[in-house]
Amino acid sequence: GAVVSQHPSRVICKSGTSVKIECRSLDFQATTMFWYRQFPKQSLMLMATSNEGSKATYEQGVEKDKFLINHASLTLSTLTVTSAHPEDSSFYICSARAGTSGGRQYFGPGTRLTVT
Amino acid sequence: KQEVTQIPAALSVPEGENLVLNCSFTDSAIYNLQWFRQDPGKGLTSLLLIQSSQREQTSGRLNASLDKSSGRSTLYIAASQPGDSATYLCAVRRVNTDKLIFGTGTRLQVFP
C-alpha cells in the first residue's frame, strides 16, 4: 500500500520557538494532505486540509498564523508550529490522498511534540 | 454536525474470544466509513473501508458491516489474539467533503 512518512517522529522544543514537521508521500503523488492533532486518549481532530499549490483550509478554531502549512509539491507538506507553547504539546498526524476525491487517505506515523 | 461515537470505550478479553466493536454516527449522508487501528504512540493503519453503497467488507479475521439508515457500523474480530491489542477508530466521510470525522475509539486489550 501507499506509504506516508513524517519527520521527526519526536521533537522537544522550548516555549517560544518554532518547530517544523514534514509529511511525505513516498510512492505516490498526494494532491491533498491533511493535518490532524491528537491529545492523549482522545480521537483525531482535523486541523487543516491542504491542496498542492494552494493555501490550506483551516478548521474552525485553528489559528492559521500559528500553524503554518505549506504544500509546495505533490509529495511534501510541512506544518510549522510557531511560537510554541506547552499547550501545543500533542501528537500530530498527517495523511495524504492521491488524485480523485474518492481516494483513500493514507496516514503517517505521527510526530510527538513536547513544548517545555 | 456529524458526530461519531464508539462503544465500548475500552474492552479487555481473553484471547480466542469473538468481539464486536460498535460505531454510530448521527448523519447518514456519508460517502464511506473506515475502520483504523492505532497502536500506542503510533499512526493509523487502515483496516477496512466500506463505501456507502456497500453493506460489509471482510479482511481475514475482520468483518465490518454498515447500516447507513440506522447510522451504525460494527467491526467483528474473530478469534482474538494478543496482537490485536490496540485502539480501534472508526471514521466517516460525509458526502461532498474531504473530511474524515473520527470516533472516540475503543481501546482493546486481549490477554493470553
Whether B89 and A46 lie within 8 Å, measured CB to CB: no
Percent of chain A at pLDDT > 90 equals: 72
Q: pLDDT tens digits for A23-56?
A: 999 988 888 999 999 988 888 999 999 988 888 9
Whether A43 and B43 lie within 8 Å, measured CB to CB: no
DSSP A54: S
**Shortest distance, CA B13 to any CA of chain A (angstroms):** 20
Nearest CA in chain A to B46: A106
Residues 6+ apart with CB under 8 A from A51: A31, A32, A71
Whether A44 and B49 lie within 8 Å, measured CB to CB: no
Among the partner-chain residues A6, A43, A91, the one whose CB lies closest to the CB of B105 is: A43
pLDDT over threshold 70, residue A80: yes
Whether A102 and B31 lie within 8 Å, measured CB to CB: yes
Among the partner-chain residues A1, A32, A44, the one whose CB lies closest to the CB of B98 is: A32
Report which of B81, B103, B109, B110 is spatially closest to residue B35, judged by C-alpha positions: B103
pLDDT over threshold 70, residue A1: no
Among the partner-chain residues B45, B46, B89, the one whose CB lies closest to the CB of A104 is: B46
Whether A107 and B43 lie within 8 Å, measured CB to CB: yes
| Average pLDDT value over all residues in chain B | 94
Testing the interface with A: which of B23, B100, B106 to mutate, by most A Cβ within 10 A? B100
Residues 6+ apart with CB under 8 A from B64: B33, B35, B47, B48, B50, B56, B57, B58, B73, B74, B75, B76
CA dihedral B109, B61, B73, B94 (to 10 degrees): 100
Predicted confidence at residue A93, as pLDDT, reads: 96
Predicted confidence at residue A102, as pLDDT, reads: 62
Chain B residues close to A6, C-beta within 8 Å: 43
Q: Is B84 helix (H, G, I), strand (E, B) or coil?
A: helix
DSSP B13: E
